[in-house]
């Protein structure tokens, strides 16, 4: 491999005749690459755990979660961030999604935007990124000027910074406080990081954001007790959740959910005999953790 070439850009000799293979052989090779990408995340778990712990601690203070990237990496970041609201009731005002080229880059390639390091500072100025915030920057090569500049500027402003890259020795990993390297190696189609690198980045973000949300109290007994029940399917799920967590009759569960405005955690506490203000206060005292709130309620000593 040339010393100045990211691992994700290297041409793998194994795939030199890829376009001449039959369909089954191509799909098998691509599938094997996807499995290898998922496996490549395992060595990064300790670094990922440390980053998530630091992020959860910082976000306890009310800061924002910021995703930064370009191209495929930027879109993967946007997807992860956009799902935090409906899944964990993460407030929209505590989420910042930065992608080189702006919203237009979500649906079409704006290739020159990733080279615009100057756009990073203006984006961070616009959103007033500061010490309460957590930024996670993603770049397969780890060389993307926009993403590097985002992390550098965010760190200067006091924000917690996390870098995810797929190439060892990447500059992106050097500028962040927490570096998460996932070595996926050359792609079956050289440089097409929507394949192995993209899959690994999606896995990393799934793990990172889910662990952070668990530590912030949005999960109890393996269920998303802060989900936004905004359609019929999710309202039925909320009913099942509260019934399963409390064992109470469906009518009592329905009444509690109505009194709680559809909030599962509040409904559980209402069924424990609290009124809504007391339930809200108890949850606040325990950092939104239903487990802690219930433990205090059942054993006040």
The catalytic residues are 83, 114
Cβ-based neighbour number of residue 65 at 10 Å: 24
Three-class SS of residue 165?
strand
Query: Facing residues of 67 across strands?
Result: 97, 136
For residue 94, CA distances in Å to 62, 78, 195, 237, 244 come to 8, 14, 30, 26, 31
* Contact criterion met (CB below 8 Å) for 189 and 195: yes
* Contact criterion met (CB below 8 Å) for 183 and 168: yes
* Contact criterion met (CB below 8 Å) for 257 and 267: yes
**Residue 188, C-beta contacts closer than 8 angstroms, at least 6 positions apart:** 12, 15, 18, 29, 30, 33, 195, 196
Instruction: Work out the end-to-end distance of the chain between its first and last CA atoms, rounded to an integer number of angstroms.
Output: 64
């Amino acid at each position: 491999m040339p010393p100045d070439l990211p691992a994700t850009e290297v041409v793998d000799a194994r795939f030199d005749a890829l376009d001449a293979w039959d369909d089954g052989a191509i799909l098998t090779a691509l599938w094997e690459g996807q499995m290898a990408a998922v496996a490549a995340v395992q060595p990064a778990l300790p670094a990922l755990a440390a980053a998530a712990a630091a992020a959860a601690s910082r976000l306890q203070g009310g800061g924002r979660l910021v995703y930064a990237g370009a191209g495929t990496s930027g879109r993967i970041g946007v997807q992860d961030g956009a799902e935090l609201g409906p899944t964990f009731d993460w407030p929209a005002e505590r989420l910042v999604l930065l992608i080189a080229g702006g919203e237009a880059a979500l649906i079409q390639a704006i290739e020159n935007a990733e080279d615009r390091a100057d756009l990073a500072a203006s984006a961070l100025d616009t959103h007033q990124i500061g010490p309460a915030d957590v930024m996670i920057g993603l770049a397969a090569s780890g060389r993307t000027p926009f993403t590097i500049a985002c992390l550098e500027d965010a760190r200067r402003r006091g924000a917690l910074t996390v870098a995810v890259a797929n190439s060892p020795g990447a500059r992106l990993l050097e500028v962040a406080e927490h570096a998460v390297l996932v070595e996926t190696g050359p792609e079956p189609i050289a440089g097409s990081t929507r394949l192995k690198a993209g899959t690994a980045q999606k896995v990393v973000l799934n793990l990172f954001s889910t662990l952070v949300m668990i530590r912030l109290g949005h999960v109890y007994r393996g269920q998303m007790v802060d989900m936004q029940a905004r359609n019929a399917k999710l309202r039925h799920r909320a009913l099942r959740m509260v019934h399963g967590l409390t064992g109470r009759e469906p009518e009592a569960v329905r009444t509690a959910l109505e009194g709680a405005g559809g909030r599962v955690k509040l409904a559980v506490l209402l069924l424990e005999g609290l009124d809504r203000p007391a339930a809200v206060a108890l949850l606040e005292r325990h950092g939104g953790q239903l487990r802690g709130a219930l433990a205090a309620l059942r054993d006040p000593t």
